[in-house]
Structure 1
Amino acid sequence: MAYLQILAVLVMVLGISVQTQNPNMITTQMEVNNMMYDAVCDCGREVTNQIRTLSEVKCTPTKIRIRQDKQGRQSGGEGDIDLNNINEFLGRPSDTTFVDPHYSNFKCLDGRYSQGSLYTMGGDIGEFFLGLVVYEELVGVELTPSQIKRLLTGYMDQMEMDSLHWCTDDQAIKHIESMIDETGIDIQNPRPDIQDAIIQIISEPYNIGDTHFKALLIESDTLNIRRELVETFIRVYYRILWDKDSEYSQGLELKQLVNSHQELAFLDVRNQKDCNAPLIPSQNRDLGFSLYIYDHEAANARRAQIAYFFTTQLKHMNINYDPQVLEHRIDNHALSFLEVTGRNIARNLPFYTILYQ
């Protein structure tokens, strides 16, 4: 067995005493700098391809604090909301469902979700794309459609969730229909004879219903990312989605949102590290308004998993990279992305920080 060969080398080089009464449990003594150390290796532990959950969630918040960081430019006008409105919108923590972000889906940064959710830029797909941007930077070559497909499906094989969420909206679909002179397009599964026509235009900004990817396309130069990478990734996504004979199609959840944006504020939702994250609807029909919601710490938990995945992919190319350093690079891009997307969607809106603890 391979580990016995390794142990033989260690015995000769380091002077290790090895006991192997249990073939799956190795007990050793090692002398380092004239000091003896005991060590135990459990070699029977199964190794899997599953993405690691890097930390365990240990608490569920019971308190909430709300702070207004910026007033809207239309402050004092009709339709403004204040701290009391935000507090009523969020409700009591005891009435809120909290989830472990390692195993939960992220919805898009959009105020048209009536069910409680976690939110980030571009949903699950946006978080994966952050890792893809850093991966391309590190390998130093422009990724091809086949390489992007391999990475996305490879991530789906290992991810903790059952599916990856992304969104579009009815306005984007209507724009596509007008460009190819079609009506009633089912964007989940369009007719085979019009799929190529849609693919040719699907990455145009106004054919994207997700506010984040639309901003990436419009301001790719500002963000110093390749617009072609954004466009190719979108086309690869839809090709996988439309391949209904593939198991990966079932793992892509595309939500078609309806009606126009009517968000009245931007919430930056934070919770203590290693705590569960709140599921909040971004739209409350009873109160008559909606919000942009961004789950700060929850998104960080997802990025740690994505960094680990892309670190393993880099190893296949003989590039050794620390997962924490890669995660830091992802975080830096996320900050830039959030600044640009936030400016595009919430420039004039009040900004609140929500702390669950």
Structure 2
Amino acid sequence: MVTIPPFLLLRWSSSLTRGSNGEPLITPLFVAEQGPAVQIVDIRPSDKATGVLGYIPGSSFPGIERLEQLADAVSSSPLVLVSATGVTAAKAALHLEELGLEHVAAMEGGLAAWRALGFSTSRDPAGVRDSLHDVPETVSEPGPLTVERVQEHIGDPRSVRWIKLSSMIAHGRLSCIDGRDERGIIGSPGGDSGKFLLTLAAIEQTTGRKLDEDAVTRGLVSHLDTFGHFYMHTDAHAFNALIEALKADPRLQIAAVDGLEPEEWFEFLRKPPHDLRESLLEHLVEPAHLGCGHIRLMLQHGDEYGIRKELVLAYLRAFHRLWWEGAPEVTLTVLPGDHEEGAVVNVRLGAGVWDLSRIPLISPACDGRQMFINHPDVFSYLRRKTVQHLVRGQDPLAVEASQEETLQQAIDELAERQLGVTVGYLAKGLPIFEVVFSADGTFEVTEVSG
């Protein structure tokens, strides 16, 4: 029997909400990020697939009359029901739940909400199917990642979701290239956090001023106000090491309660008592307790990354303080397992990048292996937007207009330098593939190093 990975279960349970009548609901953004990890069932008649709303690529159309059969068919696989506005799907999800299907929900707002968030649908009749996707009981033996395997993965409509760049900026996040995050991502080194640290270092290099912790905090608040959602990740190894360190700290005995589950520790760290927070910060900024390799390496090898250790520490403290204050834009994610990446994949857009470009969110989980997913074209665009904001906006870290070109050059050169260092530490010797998407969604995969 197929079992749902624990971290997917945790994401599912933490994201699930209830409608006014108890209907289980999940957001379109959650559905988009999960890729092939969830089954999407469109309960509309299949002839609606080619209509104005289209359908989510990879969906199944078993027909509402066969819905009750799903309670047995996918009892061990997360199931998302989809309808035009979500109302019919919500009622159907509640009905399946009452029949005993444990992990089922309707996509809140339906296809109308999916499209309103900027996600793409298809109207291609060739992609319409009435059967569910097979979920293998065992993963095939992982082997080397090749052009053919990467091409097959990206060619699976469930592994790639398309979103307008403007919508991604408003509603999504820039994720780390880390392959352990199996959700569909738009990746760059360190994600949102890496971009912000890169910006801080470039500002210091351009202006010659050293940013203190107060300036970093004010700059981060302004960044949240301007760009919205902000992401940092850790991992299970660093998180468990952090827990053991907290238990051993005599100042925190009030918190060192044996028997707490990891999710209970996470909740404690999300809302710790005020009198313990400064002590907690000492542990949270330790390299051994940082699960993002890019940020940890910045802290350990600042000279190689062109950034001061004090600047990284100031950012980490500012991030956690804002998280504790309940800043809704701030997200901390715990990634599972070990690094098992088998390749670096650079995602290129052949038609260039502009505000309304459609960007592919790609799942790093490929045929039992992981991939570092990097979107250099998107990252370059976002760096330009960041520089424009710093020069033309009312940011606490604002730079003079006369320094715009210098700042842009500094941030671009530093980005290439930092990417190279991180790849050297975390992906040394791995093959590097380049995926170039055309405007019509077709793509070509080539191996550029290996």
TM over 0.5, yes or no? yes
1:116-127 aligned at under 5 Å gives the runs 116-127=184-195
Change (3 A) 1:136 1:316: closer
The answer to whether the 8 Å contact 2:180/2:364 transfers is: yes
Alignment of 1:22-37 (within 5 A): none
CA RMSD of superposed structures (Å): 2.7
Name the CA shift for 1:314/1:151 in 2 (closer, same or farther; >3 Å).
closer
* 1:229 paired residue number: 311
Contact 1:102–1:302 (8 Å) recurs in 2: no
**Residue 281 (structure 1) aligned to one of 335, 358, 363:** 363
Give the 5 Å matches for 1:105-254: 105-159=173-227, 162-181=228-247, 182=256, 184=260, 185-186=265-266, 187-244=269-326, 249-254=327-332
Q: Residues 251-330 of structure 1: matches in 2 within 5 Å?
A: 251-272=329-350, 273-274=352-353, 275-284=357-366, 287-312=367-392, 319-330=400-411
Deviation at 1:169, TM superposition (A): 1.2
Code of the residue aligned with 1:343 in structure 2: it is G
Per-residue deviation, residues 106-129 of structure 1 (Å, max 9, x unmatched) = 111111222212011111121122
Of residues 138, 144, 152, the one that matches 1:80 is 144
Deviation at 1:166, TM superposition (A): 1.5
For residue 416 of structure 2, what is the amino acid of its counterpart?
A: L
Q: Which has the higher contact order (CA 8 A, sep 6+)?
A: 1
Q: List gaps (5 residues or longer) in structure 2.
A: 1-117, 122-140, 248-255, 439-450
Matching residue's letter, 1:211: G
Q: Which amino acid aligns with 1:82?
A: T
- Alpha carbons of 1:130 and 1:100: their partners in 2 closer, same or farther (altered >3 Å)? farther
Letter aligned with residue 236 of structure 2: D
Q: 1:90 to 1:141 in 2, by over 3 A?
A: same
Unaligned 5+ runs, structure 1: 1-56, 61-76
Give CA deviations for 1:48-72 in whole Å, capped at 9, x if unaligned: xxxxxxxxx9x99xxxxxxxxxxxx
Paired positions, count: 276
4+ runs deviating over 4 angstroms: 92-95, 313-318
Greater CA deviation, 100-109 or 127-136? 100-109
- What residue identity is the alignment partner of 1:346? A
Q: 3-state DSSP class of the match of 2:210?
A: coil
TM-score (norm 1): 0.70
What is the TM-score of this pair, normalised by structure 2? 0.57
Q: How far off is 1:153 after superposition? A: 0.7
Distance 1:101 1:345, change over 3 A: farther
Whether the 8 Å contact between 2:346 and 2:374 is mirrored in structure 1 is yes
Trace 1:3-82 onto structure 2 (pairs within 5 A): 79-82=143-146
How far is 1:293 from its partner?
Answer: 0.6
Conserved 8 A contact 1:117-1:279 = yes
What amino acid maps onto 1:225 in structure 2? I
Question: Percent of aligned positions with the same letter in both sequences?
Answer: 24
Structure of greater Rg = 1
Per-residue deviation, residues 169-189 of structure 1 (Å, max 9, x unmatched): 121111112222246532433
Secondary structure, counterpart of 2:270 in structure 1: coil
The structure with the largest strand share of the pair is 1
